[in-house]
Amino acid sequence: MKSDIYFGLSMTFMMKQTETYQPYYGLPCSINYVYSLPFHSLLRLWFRFCFYADTILTMPMQIWSQTLPKLEIHPEFLAPLENYTVTQGRDVSFTCVVNHLQSYKIAWIKSDSRAILAIHTHMVAHNPRLSVTHNGHNTWKLHVRNVQANDSGTYMCQINTNPMESQTGYMKVVIPPDIMDLDDSTDLLTAMENNDLRLRCRATGTPEPTVTWKREDGQEIVLRSELGVKRVKSYEGELLPLLGILRQEMGSYLCIATNGVPPTISKRYRVTVRFKPTIKIKDQLVVAPTYGNIILLCYIESSPRASSVWYKANGAKILTNDKYNVTETIINDYAYQSNLTIKYLNPNDFGSYICSAENLYGKIEGTIYLQELRVPKTTMSTIRNTEPDERPNLRKQIERKGGKKYSQALGRGVGSMNSTQRNVVSWTQITPISRRNNSNSLPSVVLTKNSKVSSSSSPSSSFSSSSSSPPPSSSSSSLTSASAPAHTTPTQQDVQSDATSTHDSQLVYQLHLMIIVLLFAMISFY
């Protein structure tokens, strides 16, 4: 045997062909085909060597591979699901990112209801507002459109491994506040004065809204209780108690609901307080001059609004016309002022005026007394006269004496007095000089210049009778001060004096006419 091996090894240089045998585990072995007699023995030995060598070398590796566990890569989440706070009606999307998913599947589940929404890209829930998308790699999304209140809750992204792996995200749906309609009629917002009234305002929303009350006009809200009266700018609560409400608390109240989700909403409540009319008259006595204008004021409070009427003392109703004008001035919801304007006052206008107001709950009247304001008169100069006042005959007497132009001047002078509004002239007496020569004598005129009329009174020229002077002791007329009592009977001496002064009558007549013309010229100038 040994000689065969030795022979085979030593005769390798005689090799005609060489083949290589490569086992699965082991080293390559060269097979020499030697044309010798023991070749088949050498070949058999060589195969045995390679077999045992391969077994010895590969056995530890097989044993080691059988003893170690198999290594497997599991799926993993790359980012957590986000939490969302979304306003009702908006859209939101949950994103789930997973690596090494392999053959596993992704499922979307709503945790609170344990409802499977979708598996991979297949929708399970029959909700048209839900959908899922996959980017073809490692990202899955759950879309929720037009979010509603019942969409709030926990959402889960789950992998169907064993054991199961998942992560969750929370969606909170917030709803803006809304004020409910409680079907309150207008009657529920109306109360008699000093009675109780309660306003109710209920609001919905998520989170629950806070209700606050305020007055629209910015005034304070009056809260009455057994502990007293409290005034506040705002009041919190669904129910606003208005106990013992007064007319001053009438108006609009605002219910404001807010929960931090815009927009804030409000509702207006119109509160009406009913009561019978009341009248307030500031000036019960009003003084005014003749020929002026005056306004009488009557302050009325009522709810519902009262109808106001003005009456005279004799009960005659006053209507708007050229003489009277009735107007109203609105002050607030329950108060207004009735104004009576009287134009061109005359003596018949002075007296009592009654302001009357009436509504469904009662009637009331107030009285204003209008009194004439008398302007004091100051006498400047007087031409003595002995006969009673004959003012209506003044123009006729002057025209009879051939003084028509002076009569015209007299008319212009009087008209000028009415237009200038500066002075008041009083014609006190016009008498003939003597009883005997009545047709040939010159009338005497007494001029009285009064003080200026105030701006509040009506400018006018007043014609009135006053006391005449006594006859002079001398036979001729002269300019003197009016100091003696009027309307004295002429004596015999006066008659004789008039008879002896016939020669001078024409001169006196002309003198008097000149004085009249000068006086009226001065009046017209000023």
What is the pTM assigned to this prediction? 0.55
CB atoms under 10 Å from CB of 190, counted, come to: 16
Given this model, what pLDDT does residue 507 score?
A: 72
pLDDT of 418 higher than 60: no
Residue-wise pLDDT for 90-146, tens only, equals: 999 999 999 999 889 999 999 988 899 999 999 999 999 999 999 989 999 999 999
CA–CA dist 272, 241 (Å, integer): 15
Which range (181-185, 216-220, 231-235) has the least confidence?
181-185
Q: Identify the CA nearest to 153 among candidates 117, 112, 116.
A: 112
Q: What is the mean pLDDT of residues 465-484?
A: 34
CB-CB contact of 29 with 50 (8 Å): yes
Mean pLDDT of the chain: 75
Instruction: Give the confidence band of 510 by pLDDT, cuts at 50, 70, 90.
Output: confident
- Residue whose entry in the numeric block shows the structure tokens 């002429």: 490
Q: Identify the CA nearest to 324 among candidates 293, 300, 355.
A: 293
pLDDT of 477 higher than 60: no
CB-CB contact of 341 with 293 (8 Å): yes
Instruction: Give the confidence band of 234 by pLDDT, cuts at 50, 70, 90.
Output: very high
Q: Identify the CA nearest to 302 among candidates 327, 336, 271.
A: 336
pLDDT of 493 higher than 60: no
Instruction: Locate the DSSP E strands across 24-150.
Output: 29-33, 76-79, 84-87, 92-99, 106-110, 115-119, 122-123, 130-134, 139-144
Whole-angstrom CA distances from 113 to 104, 248, 255 are 24, 56, 38
Better-scored residue on pLDDT, 416 or 78: 78
Residue-wise pLDDT for 243-277, tens only, equals: 999 999 999 999 999 999 999 999 999 999 999 99
Which of 24-33, 341-350, 496-505 holds the top average pLDDT? 341-350
CB-CB contact of 165 with 158 (8 Å): yes
Q: What is the mean pLDDT of residues 465-471?
A: 34
Residue-wise pLDDT for 315-334, tens only, equals: 999 999 999 999 999 999 99
pLDDT of 186 higher than 70: no
Residue-wise pLDDT for 48-68, tens only, equals: 777 777 777 666 666 655 655
Query: Which residues fall within 8 angstroms of residue 409, CB to CB, at 6 or more apart?
Result: 516, 517, 520, 521
